Chains A and B, each alone.
Chain A
């Protein structure tokens, strides 16, 4: 193999990657461009052009000093509390959902008895419980986090139960034969078996948590958060800021989902070939 071809290979790969990215984003870019043109022509105050929205996002949140990761004080004041509530809510939902779900999945009879109740709980549209929590817990972070947990727990719980129930019986027999302790069974058989399902539930829960985070922040009496920004800008008829908050939420959802997919891929890497797992 010649030196020249070896040297050009990374460049070639980079070029191919750029081509793939360009193709994937071409449609989105074209649509945004069209949106820009139309909104500029119309000059409608309710529909500012994307460039104005991006400018507002930059001005509001990302024009801070480099030492603070370009975040403005407003960003830290609104983004961080929102993210914090979401993280706390998701963590609570994950803990409760996995614990209850695995316990239920391992006791089929209890699961059968509780199934109607679980289906009911899952079917209640999550935001409808928020007013209840407002009454019970008053406004504030506890109420917001509780709201997030109450909505986000269901997909994790039901998926974890399903995953824990469908452990391969040969693996269960193996554990019995070799007398594995309860902790070893949980750690080496039940949780890993349920993990793909738990991640599937977590992805659903992530979007629910985002919805509930915003919704609970939009209630009167809230003092910060992206939801608060959104409702506050709307009350001031500040359309660019309203749109900026919407766009920010979209980007946030996209980034968090991408992050979760990355974590999932890493966590399930050892799982097996039937999932198309390549050699690590």
Chain B
């Protein structure tokens, strides 16, 4: 589905990414972790076609990415600024669906069910700036999910919510993902990367490259506490932590 070869990028001569290789199968959920400022958001921007990489190629379904690929949804790290303050929460979620066709009523229904899934049905008629940071983040997630993307890029999407909501959202993500939805999930939470990911890719170094690409094979999945107690989970978490901290 997604193939990144020798990707490199620099901002004003300051190298950020170097020789990033990554292949993602359709329907896979890949966690990306790495120290702050190492270039995770930059990598997502390149995949999204928002930033043209200085070097390397990105292919989606074999075709090189030039511009924003279709069927893409992004939950931006600056989630609050990505919502339009003059639209209601519902209209924010429904806006991208216009491109998907369907009637206005259908779009509103899709928006309503996505908002319901993130627990925000009650604030659909409010404006984003009337919500807390964590609620805004959930609106951005609802907007991406309602879009039913084939490629979903999430940049620290659960960073501003409380622990309980975070676990609920992690489980929601695992429920809504399907064989047709490929997900890149950037997080700085090592536990989370192992919990949600099929694979954990660690970016590190300066300029950063892929220093580890660990498949997650957990015997059982889906229940927060039990999953996190498994020996395999603990082992993976320790391994990812070592790779992230490695200077």
Contact = CB atoms under 8 A, between A and B. Distances in A.
A273 B130 contact: yes
A279 B130 contact: yes
Interface string B88-101: 00000001101100
Given A171-B84, A174-B76, A179-B70, A272 B95 contact: no
Contacts of B86: 192, 270-272
A195 to B, nearest CB: 8
A108 B142 CA distance: 34
Contacts, number: 64
A270 B126 CA distance: 10
Identify whether the interface residues of A are mostly helix, strand, loop, or mixed.
helix
A131 to B, nearest CB: 43
A272 B129 CA distance: 6
Interface stretch (A49-57, A84-92, A180-188): A180-188
Contact of B99 (A171, A176, A180, A192): A180
B54 interface: no
Contacts of A168: 81
A177 B127 contact: no
Nearest to A191: B86
A55 to B, nearest CB: 48
Contact of A173 (B50, B129, B130): B50
A189 interface: yes
Interface in B95-136: 95-96, 98-99, 127, 129-130
B230 interface: no
Interface residues of B, number: 24
Interface residues on A, range: 20 to 34
Given A170-B76, A184-B98, A273-B130, A176 B87 contact: no
A188 B81 CA distance: 14
B82 A170 contact: yes
A120 interface: no
A206 B225 CA distance: 65
Nearest to B72: A177
Given A170-B78, A173-B50, A272-B127, A178 B85 contact: no
Contacts of B81: 168, 170-171
**List of 9 A-B pairs having minimum Cβ-Cβ separation, nearest first:** A178-B96, A272-B85, A170-B81, A272-B129, A270-B86, A273-B129, A192-B86, A174-B82, A177-B74
20 contacts: A168-B81, A170-B78, A173-B76, A173-B82, A174-B76, A174-B82, A176-B50, A177-B74, A178-B99, A180-B95, A180-B99, A181-B98, A181-B99, A184-B98, A188-B87, A188-B95, A189-B84, A270-B86, A272-B129, A273-B129
